[in-house]
Amino acid sequence: MDGLCCGPGYASPSEAVKAPREKLLYTIAIYTGTGIQKPDYLATIDVDPESQNYSQVIHRLEMPGIGDELHHMGWNACSSCHGDEKMTRKYLLVPGVRSNNIYVIDTATNPQAPSLHKVVDGAKIKSKTNLSGPHTVHCLGSEIIISFLGDAKGEAPGGYLHLNKEFEIVGRWENSMGDIPFSYDFWYQPRHNVMISSEWAAPNTFMPGFDLEEVGHLKYGRRLHIWDFEKKKPIETMYLGEDGLIPLEVKFMHEPNSSHGFCGAALSSNVIHFWKSKDEKWEWEKIIDIDNEPHPDWPIPIPGVMSALLVSMDDKYLYINNWLHGDMRQYNISDPHNPVLTGQIWMGGLLGKAPIVNGVKVAGGPQMYQLSLDGKRMYVTTSLFSTWDNQFYPEIKTEGGVMVMIDCDVENGGMKINKNFILDFGKEPNGPSRCHESRYPGGDCTSDIWL
Amino acid sequence: MKKITIANRNNTIFKVKGTKPLLSELRSQGLDLPYGCQYGGCITCAAKLINGEVEQKSQVALNNRQINNGYVILCVARAKTDCTFDIGVESHDNLYRNPFIDPLAPHELKADIAILKDSINES
């Protein structure tokens, strides 16, 4: 359907870049923690400029219950199944961080109006696997693994849930967590038999909000973990120390032969680059260091809080955000050891550089983003996590989140806010909601892995 | 039986036994309350205790400042006396703070890492 072969995805990253332009976007929007007693939902957004509904929410799929805190999501299948004609990229798996439920959503039967296909019950996941606090979803050939940040009582390090392609619980995926203290994001690169995982904190630590002092008490992460992917166990730790406080998102280059990857250390606001050296050793270095910025009301300068990171499908550009500062940046990573800043935009943030974008007051700062496969359009949302939003941007409760579109220059570098697109989640029918992660029906820049 | 008054719901009164967590006792009587983990870890169900006394030893979400500000984790807290609460997100005015502008003192951290004032004085 979306490639040259028979299964889902594309034969290669360069084929993915040539895919048709996205016309729909699926974005999570939450009411958890807002005081509005309504379920979180999956919004379908029309992003076809030819459509009369362009830049609008055209459908809302409410979850069955209240208080899930939907956060990240992932597909049931990606390019890792490209050769399997029996597989299709049909289902989005959407975990609730607080409820522990995994919602399996059918996006293929009616792409404009997705429907709930199945619920993997959160209580059952706890009783069968002793896991809670789901985060990253990756398909794995035809099966699925999901990282969880805690055990059933919210204590670290959690582990990995293995679901089969019918979305039944197989059990724990990993054979061992080794001495890993915390979990969060992960990405794998099969040709190097490697998986890299990062560290946020135990659910009992991060869910109630952020106490800065707990970083010093070692309740937050500062390591990356290298796994033997086939043996399903960690084999080495990269201790990042002060350079890598709260290492969150991990991304490998899309090129399946590459061993280069990146992690954004949120609190240090650094990009960590890792790679396998010629003598087969895993190395790391800090390649980007965002300075803290002074603020008249703050006793100490504001850290950027680099909560996410994304690599364009052609592996040419790295995108990062500074949630508290309010800027998005584009770096040319043709030489991954020496990134070159090529673009920057401002939207919201605490430094007051762009409080209003396209006529809408921006509560929050740039936080989650998804890039089109051709690398030209980036959709950015502003909410991080309900309790953390409430600490840093309390006005988001009444103003809601915002989605902005950025035009990215893939030839010469550069970023510009698109003037024709803005989505104000403050005006949702049930009241202000907060938008978070986005996915496209045909695959995106944070899903596909090639075997 | 203990009398539970919900101040910000027109002083509605519920009677509870005090043997089960307040969240389940109040929900079973029809009070609409936000909640999440149900083991005292995620803060979703936090409410503000205005009068009375509860037992909430098993909660792990609140730091000592939040407890001193009156917050109670309803999914694990049991009423020891008659109590008056404000509930829901409207009661969260003092629950969240910017951790950089307003840091915690050592005795205000969560119970497992807090350093009590007395022990600071002693050392």
Q: What is the pLDDT of residues A110-120, one digit of tens each?
A: 999 999 999 99
Chain A partners of B60 at a C-beta cutoff of 8 Å? Answer: 154, 204
- How far off is chain A from B39, nearest CA to CA, in Å? 7
Question: What is the per-residue DSSP string for A135-195?
Answer: EEEEEETTEEEEEEEE-TTS-TT-EEEEE-TT--EEEE--S--TT------EEEEGGGTEE
Subunit contact B109:A214, Cβ cutoff 8 A: yes
Rounded alpha-carbon distances, angstroms, from residue A351 to A339, A346, A354, A379, A433: 25, 10, 8, 22, 23
Interface of B with A (CB under 8 A): 32, 34-37, 39, 41-44, 60-63, 88-90, 92, 95-101, 103-104, 106, 109-110, 113
For residue B57, the one-letter residue type is K
Chain A partners of B104 at a C-beta cutoff of 8 Å? Answer: 211-213
Query: What's the rounded Cα separation, in Å, for the pair A294 and A304?
Result: 11
Strand pairing category for B83-86 and B2-6: parallel
CA angle B83, B1, B50 (to 5 degrees): 0
**B74-99 residues labelled b (16+ CB within 10 A) or e (exposed):** bbbbbbeebbbbbbbbebbeebbbbb
pLDDT > 70 in chain A, percent: 99
Chain A partners of B41 at a C-beta cutoff of 8 Å? Answer: 153-154, 203-204, 207-208
Question: Which pLDDT value is given to residue A187?
Answer: 97
Question: For residue A220, is pLDDT > 80?
Answer: yes
Sign of the torsion formed by the C-alpha atoms of A157, A149, B103 and B49: negative
Subunit contact B44:A67, Cβ cutoff 8 A: yes
Query: What's the rounded Cα separation, in Å, for the pair A428 and A164?
Result: 36
Host H or E run for residue A205: helix A203-206
Residue B119: pLDDT band with limits 50, 70, 90: low
Query: Residue A4, class by beta-carbon neighbours within 10 Å (0-12 exposed, 13-18 middle, 19+ buried)?
Result: exposed
Nearest CA in chain B to A301: B100
For residue B71, the one-letter residue type is Y
User: Which residues are CB-neighbours of A49 under 8 A, at least 6 positions away?
Assistant: A420
Subunit contact B35:A67, Cβ cutoff 8 A: yes
For B37-93, the pLDDT digits (tens) are 899 999 999 999 999 999 999 999 999 999 999 999 999 999 999 999 999 999 999
Is A67 an 8 Å CB contact of chain B? yes
Rounded alpha-carbon distances, angstroms, from residue A78 to A16, A73, B27, B32: 11, 13, 42, 41
**Rounded to the nearest 5°, which phi and psi values hold at A190?**
-60, -35
The ranges assigned to domains in chain A are 13-439
Residue A142: pLDDT band with limits 50, 70, 90: confident
Q: Which of residues 217-236 of A touch B (CB under 8 A)?
A: 217, 219
Residue A214 exposure: Cα atoms within 13 Å on the Cβ side: 24
Mean per-residue pLDDT for A232-253?
98
Chain A partners of B89 at a C-beta cutoff of 8 Å? Answer: 33-35, 397
Nearest CA in chain A to B64: A211
For A325-372, the pLDDT digits (tens) are 999 999 999 999 999 999 999 999 999 999 999 999 999 999 999 999
Nearest to A401 by CA among A439, A345, A361, A359: A361
Subunit contact B113:A217, Cβ cutoff 8 A: yes
Chain B partners of A207 at a C-beta cutoff of 8 Å? Answer: 36-37, 41-43, 61
- How far off is chain B from A370, nearest CA to CA, in Å? 28
Domains of chain B with bracketed CATH: 2-95 (3.10.20.30)
Chain B partners of A299 at a C-beta cutoff of 8 Å? Answer: 100-101
Query: Looking at the DSSP assignment, which residues form a beta bridge with residue A116?
Result: A105
Query: What's the rounded Cα separation, in Å, for the pair A386 and A33?
Result: 6
Subunit contact B44:A390, Cβ cutoff 8 A: no
Nearest to B49 by CA among B10, B18, B78, B85: B85
Subunit contact A34:B36, Cβ cutoff 8 A: no
Secondary-structure percent of chain B, ordered helix, strand, coil, rounded to 5: 20, 25, 55
The tokens of A189 are what? 């690169």
Query: What's the rounded Cα separation, in Å, for the pair B118 and A303?
Result: 34
**Rounded to the nearest 5°, which phi and psi values hold at A385?**
-160, 140
Question: Which pLDDT value is given to residue A2?
Answer: 47
Find which of B8, B37, B38, B48 to mutate to test the A interface (most A CBs within 10 Å of its CB).
B37
Find which of B62, B95, B100 to mutate to test the A interface (most A CBs within 10 Å of its CB).
B100
Secondary-structure percent of chain A, ordered helix, strand, coil, rounded to 5: 10, 40, 50
Nearest CA in chain A to B87: A35
Residue A421: pLDDT band with limits 50, 70, 90: very high
For A165-218, the pLDDT digits (tens) are 999 999 999 999 999 999 999 999 999 999 999 999 999 999 999 999 999 999
Query: What's the rounded Cα separation, in Å, for the pair A242 and A250?
Result: 18
Subunit contact B104:A213, Cβ cutoff 8 A: yes
User: Which residues are CB-neighbours of A94 under 8 A, at least 6 positions away?
Assistant: A28, A42, A63, A70, A73, A102, A103, A104, A105
Nearest to A221 by CA among A177, A183, A179, A268: A183
Query: What's the rounded Cα separation, in Å, for the pair A319 and A343?
Result: 9
Please report the beta strands in A210-269, taking only residues with DSSP state E, as ranges in sequence order.
223-228, 233-239, 247-252, 261-265
For A88-140, the pLDDT digits (tens) are 999 999 999 999 999 999 999 999 999 999 999 999 999 999 999 999 999 98
pLDDT > 90 in chain A, percent: 94
Subunit contact B89:A132, Cβ cutoff 8 A: no
CB A384 within 8 A of CB A401: no
Q: What is the ipTM of this complex?
A: 0.92
Higher pLDDT, A87 or B2: B2
Query: What's the rounded Cα separation, in Å, for the pair A158 and A177?
Result: 9
Count how many pairs of residues, chain A against chain B, have C-beta atoms within 8 Å.
94
For B89-109, the pLDDT digits (tens) are 999 999 999 999 999 999 999
Fold category of A13-439 in CATH: Methylamine Dehydrogenase; Chain H (2.130.10)
Is A208 an 8 Å CB contact of chain B? yes
Rounded alpha-carbon distances, angstroms, from residue A220 to A205, A206, A214, A248, B96: 8, 9, 7, 11, 19
Question: Which pLDDT value is given to residue A278?
Answer: 94
Subunit contact B90:A211, Cβ cutoff 8 A: no
Nearest CA in chain A to B107: A213
Chain B partners of A297 at a C-beta cutoff of 8 Å? Answer: 101
Is A207 an 8 Å CB contact of chain B? yes
Query: What's the rounded Cα separation, in Å, for the pair B45 and B43?
Result: 6
Query: What's the rounded Cα separation, in Å, for the pair B112 and A1?
Result: 54
Other CB atoms within 10 A of residue A349 CB:
27
For B23-40, the pLDDT digits (tens) are 999 999 999 999 988 999
Question: For residue B123, is pLDDT > 50?
Answer: no
The tokens of A221 are what? 């992460």
